[in-house]
């Protein structure tokens, strides 16, 4: 268990009103019109994204992976397209101190077979030293390829926390698209599922009906009590959401050998 269970006593706060099936169906059908419009607008935005210009750069830039230094061009694995996630990193820091936000992206994208089937490769880039990165990847049991881009210039290196797309034309390599922040959410299917539920994600910015408070998952005395954005990214050994020194990124509690901690061990800013 990585988060506290919700109420089970039949007294959920701010429940939706109870109606008959016909009334529910009418309200559902009304919302469906808006959902379809949202989908069509998303399709139009994707079409515009496919028409963006691109920037050529030197694909021979070396990155470091499990097989040592390799040219960035190798990350395409012979395919024409490549998506990378740029994972933030803290140097000289234990596993529990690594970026909790980036964990949500890396953890949800554990298998790229569907991308591969469409001619798209996938990799994770980070600025950490390879020896530290390799130990972290082994602990998390990530199966997609990771590479250190320490001291490598943009668009391969540079600022982390981005999903970035590249195109290969023979030995020529091009940057085609990049996004960050909530632009990374398409990788995290859990967020889309939470958006379907009556209590949502439980984040402070969400628009909820009056009295609708996330049940059970927040307790007095830690940052989650204020319903801060992304409170569920970290929890302590008891499954209580917290950003404190006793926390790990939530998926780490499922890892063999993960034990309670009392420090994040961070010795500096993101690199």
Residues 158-182, buried b or exposed e (16+ Cβ, 10 A)?
eebbbbbbbbbeeeebbbbbbeeee
3-class SS letters over the chain: CCCCCCCCCCCCCCCCCCCCHHHHHHHHHHHHHHHHHHHHHHHHHHHHHCCCCCEEECCCCEEEECCEEEEHHHHHCCCCEEEEEEECCCCCCCHHHCCHHHHHHHHHCCCCHHHHHCCEEEEEEECCCHHHHHHHHHHHCCCCCEEECCCCCCCCCCCCCEEEEEEEECCEEEEEEEEEHHHHHHHCHHHHHHCCCCCCCCCCCCCCCCCCCCCCCCCCCCHHHHCCCCHHHEECCCCCECCCCCCEEHHHHHCCCCCCCCCCCCCCCCC
pTM above 0.95, yes or no: no
Q: Residue 155, preceding bond cis, omega within 30 degrees?
A: yes
Going 219 to 221 to 227 to 228, the CA torsion angle's sign is negative
Give the C-alpha separation, 73 to 49, whole Å. 23
* 123 exposure class (CB count in 10 Å sphere: 0-12, 13-18, 19+): buried
pLDDT in tens, 134-181: 999 999 999 999 999 999 999 999 999 999 999 999 999 999 999 999
Report the mean per-residue pLDDT for the chain.
90
Confidence of residue 221 (pLDDT cuts 50, 70, 90): very low
pLDDT tens track for 94-147? 999 999 999 999 999 989 999 999 999 999 999 999 999 999 999 999 999 999
Residue 7 has pLDDT above 60, yes or no: no
Give tens-digit pLDDT for 232-270: 789 999 988 888 999 999 999 999 999 999 999 986 444
Both tokens of 232, joined, read 């569920």
Give bridge partners of residue 177 from the DSSP assignment: 165
Find tokens 């391969």 and name the residue.
Answer: 156
Given this model, what pLDDT does residue 229 score?
61
Give CA separation, 119 vs 13, 72, 112, 176, in Å.
48, 17, 11, 16
Domains of the chain: 55-180 (3.40.30.10)
Average pLDDT rounded to a whole number, residues 9-25: 87
Nearest C-alpha neighbor of 97 from the set 147, 130, 135, 123: 135
% residues pLDDT > 70 (the chain): 87
């Amino acid at each position: 268990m990585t988060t506290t269970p919700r109420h089970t006593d039949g007294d959920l706060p701010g429940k939706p009103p109870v109606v008959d099936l016909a009334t529910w169906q009418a309200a559902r059908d009304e919302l469906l019109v808006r959902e379809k419009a949202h989908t069509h607008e998303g399709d139009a935005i994707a079409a515009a994204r496919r028409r963006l210009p691109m920037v050529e750069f030197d694909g021979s830039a070396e990155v470091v992976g499990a097989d040592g230094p390799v040219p960035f061009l190798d990350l395409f694995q012979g395919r024409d397209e490549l998506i990378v996630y740029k994972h933030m990193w803290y140097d000289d820091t234990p596993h529990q101190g690594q970026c909790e936000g980036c964990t949500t992206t890396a953890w949800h994208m554990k298998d790229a077979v569907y991308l591969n089937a469409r001619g798209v490769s996938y990799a994770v880039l980070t600025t950490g030293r390879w020896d530290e990165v390799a130990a972290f990847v082994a602990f998390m049991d990530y199966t997609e390829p990771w590479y250190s881009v320490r001291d490598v210039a943009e668009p391969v290196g540079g600022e982390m926390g981005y999903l970035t797309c590249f195109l290969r034309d023979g030995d020529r390599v091009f940057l085609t698209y990049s996004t960050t922040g909530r632009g990374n959410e398409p990788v995290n299917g859990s967020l889309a599922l939470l958006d379907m539920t009556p209590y949502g994600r439980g984040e402070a910015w969400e628009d909820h009906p009056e009295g609708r408070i996330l049940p059970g998952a927040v307790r007095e005395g830690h940052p989650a009590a204020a319903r801060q954005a992304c409170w569920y990214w970290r929890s302590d050994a008891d499954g209580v959401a917290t950003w404190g020194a006793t926390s790990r990124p939530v998926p780490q509690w499922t890892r063999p050998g993960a034990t309670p901690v009392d420090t994040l061990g961070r010795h500096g800013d993101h690199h």
